[in-house]
C-alpha cells in the first residue's frame, strides 16, 4: 500500500509525494485555415499519435485556439506545441507531421509560434517541405521572416522557413483514484477543462486523459515500459497495490509545458478541480524516486 504521508484538500486524501518531469526540446507552431472547422481538423491530425515519447516521435497537443485577430494571417488558427528529447528528433517529427497532416489539409498555412534571437536553436520546416513544390515553390520575405509558397491544387501552402525551439518540461502528472469509472471520468474531464485554460501547456494524451499509466521496465525484456500494476484495480490482489480501499478506477493526467511554472499552475488548477468532484478518494503523482527527471512538482506545494 502507499506509504506516503497524506495531506487533505476538500476532504480528499492527497499523497505527500511529487511528480517527476524531464527536460525536453519543444517548439510552437501556428496553423491557420479558411474556417475554424478546418483548423480543428488540421490540429487534431498533426497532434495525433503523439502521446508519449515511449513509442511516439514526439509529444504534441493543442495549446489553444486563436481568433482571426490573434493569428498571423487574420484567419482562424490554433497554437500547437511539440516536445521531443533532442532538437534533431523534434525537427524530424515536426517536418514529417506538418508535411503529412497540414500540407495535405485544405486551405491551411503554417507559421512559427516561437522565435529566438539564437538562430542556431531554430529547426527547419518550410525549408524542408519546399521541395514538394518540385521547383515551382517561391520564397517570400515577411518583415524579418522567410516564408515558402508551395503550389498545391487548391492554391498555395504558405509555410514558415524555420521555427524556433526552446527547452521545455514534459511529464508533470496527477493520478486520480476514484470509486468507479463514471465518477473518475467526470472528475478528470472537469480537471482537464480547467487545466487547458493555463497557457503555455499541453495535455498530450487522448482528451487529456491517460487510462494506461505506465511504469519503467517490464517482465518482457524487449519492453521499456509496462502497465502501472500498482494502480490497476482489477489486479490489486495479485500485485503490490498502492490503491486506497474502495478504488474502482484510476486516471492520470500528463502535462507538458514551456517551463516549470506553467506546468505547476496547470497541476494546481487540476488538483483543486478534482477535489471538488464526488467519488474521489485520493490524488497522487508518479515519480521515479527523483533519479531520472530533474523537475519535481511536489503536491504539497500546490495546496494553499
Evaluate whether 6-17+168-302 and 25-164 have a shared fold.
yes
- Quick one: 256 exposed, middle or buried, by C-beta within 10 A (0-12, 13-18, 19+)? buried
Identify the pLDDT of residue 2. Answer: 52
Residue 119 clears pLDDT 80, i.e. is over it? no
Confidence band, pLDDT 50/70/90 cuts, at residue 120? confident
The CATH architecture to which 25-164 belongs is 2-Layer Sandwich (3.30)
Distance, CA of 178 to CA of 142 (rounded, Å): 52
Count, residues in the chain: 304
Confidence band, pLDDT 50/70/90 cuts, at residue 4? low
Show the cell assigned to 22. 524531464
> Among all chains, which residue has been given the C-alpha cell 516564408?
147
Instruction: Say if pTM beats, i.e. exceeds, 0.85.
Output: yes
What is the CATH number that goes with domain 6-17+168-302?
A: 3.30.70.520
Residue 16 clears pLDDT 60, i.e. is over it? yes
Residue 3 clears pLDDT 60, i.e. is over it? no
For the residues 102-121, what does the mean pLDDT come to? 89
Identify the pLDDT of residue 293. Answer: 92
For the residues 21-36, what does the mean pLDDT come to? 97
Express as a percent the part of the chain with pLDDT over 90.
Answer: 92
Go through 2-11 and write b for each residue having 16 or more CB atoms within 10 A of its CB, e for each that does not: bebeebebee
The domain spans of the chain are: 6-17+168-302, 25-164
Confidence band, pLDDT 50/70/90 cuts, at residue 56? very high
Identify the pLDDT of residue 304. Answer: 83
Identify the pLDDT of residue 214. Answer: 94
Identify the pLDDT of residue 137. Answer: 98
Q: Express each pLDDT in 126-136 by its tens digit.
A: 999 999 999 99
Amino acid at each position: 500500500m502507499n506509504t506516503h504521508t497524506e495531506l487533505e484538500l476538500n476532504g480528499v486524501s492527497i499523497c505527500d509525494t511529487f511528480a517527476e518531469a524531464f527536460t525536453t526540446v519543444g517548439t510552437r507552431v501556428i496553423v491557420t485555415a479558411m474556417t475554424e472547422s478546418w483548423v480543428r481538423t488540421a490540429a487534431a491530425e498533426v497532434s495525433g499519435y503523439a502521446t508519449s515519447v515511449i513509442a511516439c516521435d514526439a509529444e504534441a497537443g493543442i495549446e489553444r485556439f486563436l481568433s482571426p485577430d490573434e493569428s498571423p494571417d487574420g484567419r482562424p488558427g490554433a497554437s500547437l506545441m511539440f516536445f521531443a528529447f533532442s532538437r534533431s528528433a523534434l525537427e524530424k517529427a515536426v517536418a514529417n507531421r506538418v508535411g503529412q497532416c497540414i500540407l495535405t489539409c485544405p486551405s491551411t498555412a503554417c507559421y512559427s509560434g516561437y522565435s529566438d534571437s539564437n538562430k542556431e536553436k531554430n529547426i527547419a520546416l518550410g525549408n524542408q517541405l519546399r521541395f514538394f513544390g518540385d521547383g515551382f515553390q517561391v520564397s517570400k520575405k515577411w518583415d524579418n521572416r522567410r516564408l515558402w509558397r508551395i503550389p498545391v491544387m487548391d492554391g498555395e501552402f504558405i509555410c514558415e522557413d524555420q521555427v524556433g525551439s526552446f527547452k521545455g518540461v514534459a511529464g508533470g502528472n496527477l493520478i486520480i483514484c476514484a470509486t468507479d469509472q463514471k465518477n473518475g471520468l467526470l472528475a478528470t474531464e472537469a480537471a482537464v477543462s480547467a487545466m487547458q485554460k493555463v497557457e503555455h501547456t499541453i495535455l498530450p494524451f487522448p482528451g487529456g486523459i491517460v487510462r494506461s499509466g505506465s511504469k519503467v521496465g517490464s517482465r518482457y525484456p524487449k519492453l521499456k515500459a509496462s502497465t502501472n500494476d500498482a494502480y490497476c484495480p482489477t489486479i490489486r490482489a495479485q500485485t503490490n497495490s498502492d490503491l486506497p480501499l474502495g478504488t474502482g478506477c484510476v486516471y492520470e493526467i500528463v502535462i507538458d509545458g514551456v517551463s516549470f511554472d506553467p506546468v505547476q499552475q496547470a497541476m494546481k488548477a487540476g488538483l483543486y478541480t478534482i477535489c471538488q468532484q464526488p467519488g474521489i478518494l485520493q490524488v497522487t503523482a508518479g515519480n521515479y524516486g527523483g533519479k531520472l527527471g530533474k523537475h519535481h512538482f511536489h503536491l504539497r506545494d500546490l495546496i494553499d
